[in-house]
Structure 1
């Protein structure tokens, strides 16, 4: 008998001066994700298709893999999410839901990353990664320039 592992979820909400179409495009077009995430999200974005999160460098390292669960442009995208080294284990996958909604003269982007194993390296990475990635996305769409998500604070 296997014990079920405790799961956790994280929800991030940001407001972006943009349109739902531009936000959705920024989530799914490799040439856009490269500019604010340093990775390309590669897929045809049809339900059931695979997707890869590919580092935009010479090595083209695949950092995350998954499947497209749901795609309803420009309002909703749901993907599964796993480390390539754990991709063979169905229990290793978490889920990311992007909800893109018009809100007054802006867009409300809600990112829910759930089905994460509590205390796992992936859960830790998610809590550190999503805030900078979403800040960079917002900056890119509002100013034309993303944040260097790989920059590390310099020691004092």
Structure 2
């Protein structure tokens, strides 16, 4: 029996260039500024990538492989919690696509092959919007958002 899967598609428009958006995703020092994590890889197809918490412990939280890379327009990676790295069924896929759109970039992030109702799917649904808002903010203003902020209690 196969598990039901789900996917999420996020689209945002950023006043930037495809090169700068791609660099923000793939360069650890830039990703740290809007994500609080570094995406670490040599970005060659088949290479591993790690999503490393940018703190004193440098905790590897997510892992995967680079599936496809065509700078600055397309990057496809697999994605799993580091604690589930040895379970092939734990992996989902993330596709980043950039497209010039007048004086902006249309960034489409598709996160698919997620097990429906899983903790990862629920986390993705909440995580990507703030990460992408922070990326947009960083590239447009020079300042990312606090992606670890929590809602104020009512």
Q: TM (normalized to structure 1)?
A: 0.97
Map of 1:82 onto structure 2: 80
* Distance of 1:142 and 1:53 partners within structure 2: 24
Map of 1:6 onto structure 2: 4
After TM superposition, the runs of 4+ consecutive aligned structure 1 residues lying more than 3 A away are none
Map of 1:107 onto structure 2: 105
CA drift at 1:154: 2.5
Q: Are positions 1:95 and 2:56 aligned together?
A: no
Residue 44 of structure 2 aligns to a residue whose secondary structure is: coil
* Distance of 2:121 and 2:8 partners within structure 1: 9
**Aligned 1:29-40 pairs, distance under 5 A:** 29-40=27-38
* Distance of 2:12 and 2:60 partners within structure 1: 27
Where does structure 2 lack aligned partners over 5 or more consecutive residues?
A: none
Map of 2:66 onto structure 1: 68
CA drift at 1:153: 2.0
**What is the number of residues matched between the two proteins?**
154
* Aligned equivalent of 1:123, options 116, 121, 135: 121
Deviation track 1:57-109 (CA, whole Å, cap 9, x = no partner) reads: 00111110000000100000000000111111111100000001101110000
Q: Are positions 1:134 and 2:146 aligned together?
A: no
Q: TM (normalized to structure 2)?
A: 0.99
